[in-house]
Structure formats: structure tokens, C-alpha cells
Amino acid sequence: MTTVSFHYWWGSNRSVPTSWLWMPGRPLKPEFAKNGTYYEHGGGKGLELQWRSVMEVQKPEWVMLLTWNDYNESYIEPVDDYKNYPNGTSDAPRGWYKPMAGLGELNRYFIQHYKTGVQPEITADSLFWCYRTSSQKLAASADPDRPPVKIGNGPVGDDLYLTTALTAPAELRVNSGGRETRHSVPAGIGQTVVPFQPGRQQFSLWRDGKKLVEAEGEPVVDAIEFYCYWPTTGYATAGR
């Protein structure tokens, strides 16, 4: 058996006041509020690497996806913001937890591949995004006693992780904080990593001079009140 989970990589449950957290089986103690080690997963790129390991190296009989057993144990649930539902997050403000739809939708592709043993046919052009909404280097104004979390698995870039699922090659255009970059992306599943800038985050897919998909993610901010390392995610599909 193999487990596919994002929780252990994002490590965000040690970067906020204890009263915001729901920790099953644990009393709330001051030491749990200390900033821990942050492990960058890499959005859809990291998810693809996990599934490649499952299918090509580990080859287990079954896979367990951590979803509903703990609100802080997964990042592939079809949830927009936990604060919209009764879940024990106490006084965490709306917007601290981020939408999960992007990685949840992308996961469908890899689940089907694992179950059938056949790479799924892509019948519609899609774009998925995943990124933190603030730089890892920012210090929280309302939390002066704690520095940003430590880095646990090497340097962490302030990046947009963009996954494309295409019927044919296309061009990915990214406008991050007013800075536009263009990237050639292949048919099938492709991964593109682009440094983010504070401001609006806009994405589009083009082929033969025609816009296929246009979308906008959550803005990246240049100042934070509290630490938050949850990534925001989303997706857009041509014709939908």
C-alpha cells in the first residue's frame, strides 16, 4: 500500500497561532505554535512525480489518498475555504485556507492512469495552477516573535507551478504582477515553473493565434499579517 498526500510537504500547520488549529488527539500546547520546517511540494509537478513513483517504482496493489480524515492532512479535497464549513478551525480568518479544486481535479488524471494501467486520452485543453500567495521571505506583521519557517528540503523559490493537459502543443502565457512570459508547452501533461511577482496572476493558453483558455488566480501579496503557507489552486478547461 502507498499513501499519496500533500500535508507532509506543505507543513503549514505550524506557522499560525494555536487557536487556529484543530489537531486530533493533541492538546493545544504553546510548543505547537512554533514555526516548523517547510517542505515545498511543487504543485502539479510534485503530484505527477508522486504518481510516477507509485506506478513505475513502487507498484503497490492499492493507493490511499489522505482526504477527509483530518482537515490539515491533505490538499486534494474539493473544498474552497474550510472557514465556510463547521470544521474546528476556530478563529482562523476566511482566506487563510486556500481553494483546493485545482489539485483535486488534476488528481483525477493520475487516478485513472493508476487504476486502468493506460495513460488517459486528453480530449480537452486544460490548465492547472498552484502557488503560495506570498513570498517565503516575508515576515508577518502580527507575529513579530517568529521568523518565517525553516526550509526543509533545499531552496524554495517563490514560484507559480503550472500544469497543462493538452490535445496538441500550445503556448502558455503568464502575467505575474505585470511581468509577462511565454512558454511552449507540449501535448499531453506538461509542467512549467515561473517565478511569481506581487500582484495579479493571469494565465492563458494559445494555439495558432487563437486563445483557448484564460484564467486568473488569487493575487500574490507583498505584505502579510500572519504566516500562511497553504497554496492556492485552480483550473480552467477550454469550452467550459
Q: Tens digits of per-residue pLDDT, 141-181?
A: 887 777 776 665 566 789 999 999 999 999 999 999 999 99
pTM: 0.84
pLDDT of residue 32: 44
Tell me which of 65-69, 115-119, 144-148, 215-219 is least confident: 65-69
pLDDT of residue 61: 86
- Asked if 13 contacts 28 with a C-beta cutoff of 8 angstroms, the reply is no
pLDDT of residue 98: 84
User: Residue 28: is its pLDDT beyond 80?
Assistant: no
pLDDT mean across residues, the chain? 80
List of residues 6+ apart from 186 with CB closer than 8 A: 166, 169
Measured CA to CA, the distance from residue 233 to residue 217 in angstroms comes to 8
Measured CA to CA, the distance from residue 113 to residue 204 in angstroms comes to 26
User: Residue 115: is its pLDDT beyond 60?
Assistant: yes
Q: Categorize the per-residue pLDDT at 65 as very low, low, confident or very high, splitting at 50, 70 and 90.
A: confident
User: Residue 30: is its pLDDT beyond 70?
Assistant: no
Domain residue spans in the chain? 2-237
pLDDT of residue 119: 95
Measured CA to CA, the distance from residue 186 to residue 169 in angstroms comes to 4
In angstroms, how far apart are the furthest CA atoms of the chain? 58
Half-sphere exposure of 131 toward its Cβ, with a 13 Å CA cutoff?
A: 31
- Backbone φ, ψ for residue 145 (5° rounding): -85, -10
Mean pLDDT of 129-137: 92
Tell me which of 54-58, 64-68, 182-186 is least confident: 64-68
- Any idea what DSSP says for residue 101? H
CB neighbours of residue 142 within 10 Å: 9
User: Residue 72: is its pLDDT beyond 70?
Assistant: no
User: Which grid coordinates belong to 203?
Assistant: 494565465
- Cα distances from 48 to residues 155, 180, 184, 196, 231, in angstroms, run 20, 26, 19, 21, 17
User: Alpha-carbon dihedral of residues 103, 108, 111, 115, nearest 10 degrees?
Assistant: 180
- Backbone φ, ψ for residue 48 (5° rounding): -65, -40
